Structures are given as C-alpha cells and as structure tokens.
Structure 1
Amino acid sequence: MSSSSGPGDRTVLPVTAESPVRSVPKTWSIRRLFSHVRVENLVAGLSGGVVSTMVLHPLDLVKVRFAVSDGLQLRPKYHSISHCMRSIWQKEGLRGLYQGVTPNVWGAGASWGLYFFFYNAIKAYIKEGRQTELSPTEHLVSAAEAGAMTLCLTNPIWVTKTRLVLQYSSDPSQKLYKGMVDALVKIYRQEGVPGLYRGFVPGLFGTSHGALQFMAYEELKRDYNKYRNMHSDAKLNPLEYITMAALSKIFAVATTYPYQVIRARLQDQHTRYNGMMDVMRRTWRNEGVLGFYKGMVPNLIRVTPACCITFVVYEKVSRFLLDQHK
C-alpha cells in the first residue's frame, strides 16, 4: 500500500541559470492518491453501515422527530423515547418505526463505504514513503477531507430520509412522499438542486464530527497497542474494537451535536428557514441552549451501538478481504 516515493517528492535537477528546479505536475499527485484506493475498504464500510442501520433505524427516527420538535401544532408530542416509540407503534405498527429506512440504508451504506474508501486512501497517500506514524492533526485532516467528499455525493439521500421520517400521518394516501425515489423526484421538481442540498452547509460543519471521531479512534487504538507493546496497526478483538468505537463516538457526539439539530430543521418540510443563521436565531430565541441538544439522548443511544457495529463489521470484513489479496 506504500511505495518508496514520498508525497512531496520532486525530480530535482542541478540548479543552474539554464536548468531551474522543476516539479512533477500536480496531476501526478492526484494519480498517486488514486493508486491508494481499495475497493475492499468501500465494501467493508458499506457492510458495516447497512447492518447497523437495519438494526437501529427506529432510534434514528425518534432522534430526528425530537430534533425538530419546535412546538408546531401539526407535530405529535412525545414525552420520552419509549413514549415516542409506543405512539408510533400503536398508530402505524412496525412500518411506522421503519419510515425512511430505505434512504437511511442507502445513505448510511454509501456514507460509511465512501468515508472509509476516501479516508484510507488519503491516509495512505500522506504516509507514503514515511517511517513515522500520522499525527493526530493528520488523522483529523484526513477524516475531514473524506467527510466533505462523501457529503457531496450523499446529501440528497439524507434530505429524502429526513422528509420521509417526518411524515406524521398513518394514512398512506395523505403522505406527500411514497418512497425514496418519489421523494427525490418531487424534491427536485419542486425545489430544484438546492432542495436536494438543504442542510449541506451545516453538514460540512458536521464533517468535524467524523474527523474528531476518527482521530480519537485512531489515537485510542495506537495508544492501546503501544501499551501492549504491539505494532500500532495490530489486530484487536471485537470487544476492544467496540470499546474504542464507543469512546470515540461519545466524544464526537458531545462535541458537535448542535449541527445535527440545525441540519434536520433545515431539511424539514414543515417549517421554512432563511438559512443556517435563521435556524440558530429562532432556536435560541424560542428554546434556548437546550434547543440545540434536542434528541441527543436517543441519538447517543442509537449512534453508540451503531458505531460499534459498523466499526467491528468494517474491521473484520476489510481484514478478510485484504487478506484474500495478499
């Protein structure tokens, strides 16, 4: 996965008046970056995202409904996580708890797959030709770049997922969207490309969430392996992966959760905001600081096991696939 050349290598000629120093064209660096991509990372990340989403989608639905609960009369009122789930079950059954699962599976699978795909390629590119480990800052930057690239491709899926989970009627004939494809088509026809990219700016801020999570995950693994006197990339057992993933996720959620509330409200079809600053002003004025943390408890209950499942599946599948090609 590495070569003898480093990321900053240049072809150096003797410096004379006739022969200045010349560097390899930029396209060569891009070609080197893409030489590090591995389909195995894409497949492993996709597998982890799909499995965790299928298991825990109902909690994601609850989190979104709490995040947008700004007092509008049309919204159902929920007193707790269990009350929300019971109410949906009583009115709409299992189908109600899995509203929006299709774009969620597509979005989570694509996002995790692409994230690991880009992240590992960027890491390998930065580390090319080096004997030293990546620093926390380099892990942070690699994860942020991977997150931004992933969001550009997946934001329309997340918009459709938010719209679908916020359809409150139990009567299918009264629902605006019939499914993921219908939602994508209607949003595009009625709102154009900007409609498909609602919440993109806070989503970009949200890349800091993934960046902090991956930085913490990498540093925890490396420090733990140093404590064991093992190589920094040494294989861990499932319980150890779960512990590292859970700690890194809790750290990232506690640090960055408000952006998820802002993003969900921008994507909500029931209320119109004039951009991110309008959401922040109105949320602060009407609900105070706690308004920015609505839904965080169900989110933590959902994302922590989801992250653990995703990372364990990813680590196992990626190692299996990569070992097949050795």
Structure 2
Amino acid sequence: MKIPDLSNYDHLIGGFCGGVTSTVACHPFDLLKIRFSANEGHALRPQYTSYLDAVRKIVKVEGIRGLYQGWTPSLIGASISWGLYFQWYNSLRKYLNENLSTGSEMVNNLISGCVTGSAIMCITNPIWLTKTRLCLQYENQQAKKYSGMLDCMRQTVRQEGIPGLYRGFVTGVIGTTHGAVQIAAYSWMVDKRCAARGLPNNSFLSQTDYVVASSTSKILATTITFPYQVLRTRMQDHNTDYRGVWKTTLRTVQNEGIAGLWKGCLIANIRQLPSAVITFLTYENVKRLVGMTKNQK
C-alpha cells in the first residue's frame, strides 16, 4: 500500500511526536518544578525539604498518579506547541534566510524563534494555565478545586472571565526568548556539525550529535531565561493573588532575594534536559521517516 507523501509536514509530525514522547516520560519532573517555583513559603502549601521529600509526600497521600496531576493539558499543550513550533519556525527561518539579510543566520534564528513562540502562545496559554493550576492542587488540601482540565477552564472563565485564561501571558511571551535561544543555539550547532562533516544543512546526523546539541542548547536557554518561569507560575497560581509582571518581580525579590527568581531552576534543568533530548531525538528521527514518504513510486 502506498503511503501518502507527508514530507511537507515532516516538522509538524516530528514535533508533535516529540512533544508527546517527552511529556509521557518527564511530566513528574515538570510537576516538581512548578511546585518549587510557586513556593514562597505560604502556610497553605506543603513544605518540602528536597525533591525526594516532595515525591515521598505526594505518593504517600495520592499514589503514583499524584505525580501526574496536570498531565492532560501538558500532553495536549506540548504536542500542539512542538508540532506547530518546528513547522512554523523552519518555514519562517527559510523565508528570512532567503529574503531578509540581517548579516547573521543566528539573528534570523532568534527572530524566527521569538515570532513563532509568540504566535503559539496566543493559542496555548489557556492550556498551560490549566496545567499550572492542576499541578498546584496539593495533597494536603481537603478538597480539590478542579476535577480536570475542562472544569478548570470553566471555573476560570466563570470567576475571572476570558482574560483569566490569559493570566501569565505577558511572561509567556517574554519566555519565548527561552525557546528562541534554545532553537537558535540548536540549529547553529547542527548546521556547524553538518559543515564540519562536509554535509549540506538538514542532513541526518548521528544520535550523539543530536544529544549534544539538544542538551547544550537546553541548559543554556533554561538557565538564562528561568526567572520568567517563576513569575509566570506565580501569576497563574490560583492559591495566591500575584498580578502584574513588575509587581510579582518586586514582591519575589523583596521576600526571597534575587535567588528567588531562580527557585526550581535545578529541577527545571534536571526535568527539561532529558525532556529536550527526548523531544529533539524523536523529532529528528520521525522527521527523517516522514521525509522518506516523498516521491514514492
């Protein structure tokens, strides 16, 4: 049976599969990152002495499924985001390289990443908001406020209006610099590796090359841009009343110092590093398989 030519959607399909795979494998790390980023010491939250202590307390009360709170919006959001991101980013990057001379391919990569990320954030912010709120339903609370993703959206709209679904949107747009730095650094390293091996751009490299490029670019992007994740998490948290990027920043720094802006950065790197490697490895391999459907006889 002839397989349809899907090569025009290789980035979309590869990114979709990468988002699904990484979420299934790494969601518990994401939950821990969100909880540590949101924790300003308020008595309503369970206080964890370490990441291992958090896992023990969550599992003791809610079982293993407690580590997968917010899994549904995470799965939906990651698959849509990565699929659209790779497809739109590569299309825009190609257009800029062919039609707009900025004098630097890295600049074109950063522009492509920021524009693409901002467009996708307009679509996915409500999904990420529900993920954050579901992840912040603690095991020490007698009753859970939300029963699931759709219930969270319904209650948010009823209590806060449609704008409530876009809490944290500004920090999310600022956070597109994270994706832009990551994808720009990744693309640059892959292109340089292709050149070093005498191969044209977009050639299929070894798995080791992709692991090195994805892990290095992710650590760089996460560490540099992490404060936006803390601010966004706190602004989306239904347990507190953080509002406004500037006010949230000042409140965090005044109460916890500059280091408060990097709360959860370690677990973010621990979580996002394997997630990035899984996402990009899956993306590159699925993209290659999809590309093989072109011009089949």
TM bucket, shorter chain: over 0.9
Q: Give the paired residue count.
A: 289
| Cα distance between partner residues in 2 of 1:287 and 1:142 | 35
- Kept in 1: contact 2:18–2:283 (CA 8 A): yes
Paired letter, 1:109: S
- Kept in 2: contact 1:127–1:134 (CA 8 A): no
Match of 2:112 in 1: 142
**SS class of match (1:315):** helix
Q: Deviation digits for residues 153-180 of structure 1, max 9, x if unmatched?
A: 0000000000000001367x71110001
What's the TM-score once normalised by structure 1's chain length?
0.85
Q: CA deviation at 1:117?
A: 1.7
Match of 2:214 in 1: 245
| Cα distance between partner residues in 1 of 2:49 and 2:140 | 20
More helix, by proportion: 2
Q: CA deviation at 1:323?
A: 2.0
Aligned partner of 1:279 among 243, 248, 252: 248
Q: Which runs of 5+ in 1 are unaligned?
A: 1-36
Verify: 1:99 aligned to 2:69, yes or no.
yes
CA 1:68 to 1:129, structure 2 compared with 1: closer, same or farther past 3 Å? closer
CA 1:79 to 1:64, structure 2 compared with 1: closer, same or farther past 3 Å? same
- Kept in 2: contact 1:92–1:170 (CA 8 A): no
Paired letter, 1:194: P
Match of 2:121 in 1: 151
Q: Which moved more, 1:226-235 or 1:80-89?
A: 226-235
Match of 1:217 in 2: 186
Q: Deviation digits for residues 228-274 of structure 1, max 9, x if unmatched?
A: 22223221111211110000001101110000000000000011123
Verify: 1:67 aligned to 2:34, yes or no.
no
- Kept in 2: contact 1:38–1:117 (CA 8 A): no
Aligned partner of 2:13 among 26, 30, 43: 43
| Cα distance between partner residues in 2 of 1:38 and 1:119 | 14
Q: Which runs of 5+ in 2 are unaligned?
A: 1-6
Aligned partner of 1:261 among 227, 230, 245: 230
Q: CA deviation at 1:292?
A: 0.3
**SS class of match (1:177):** coil
Question: Which stretches of structure 1, 4 residues or longer, exceed 4 Å deviation after superposition?
Answer: none
Correspondence list, 1:1-326, <5 A: 38-128=8-98, 135-169=105-139, 174-326=143-295
| Cα distance between partner residues in 1 of 2:16 and 2:75 | 9
What's the TM-score once normalised by structure 2's chain length?
0.93
Larger C-alpha radius of gyration, 1 or 2?
1
* Aligned CA-pair RMSD: 2.0
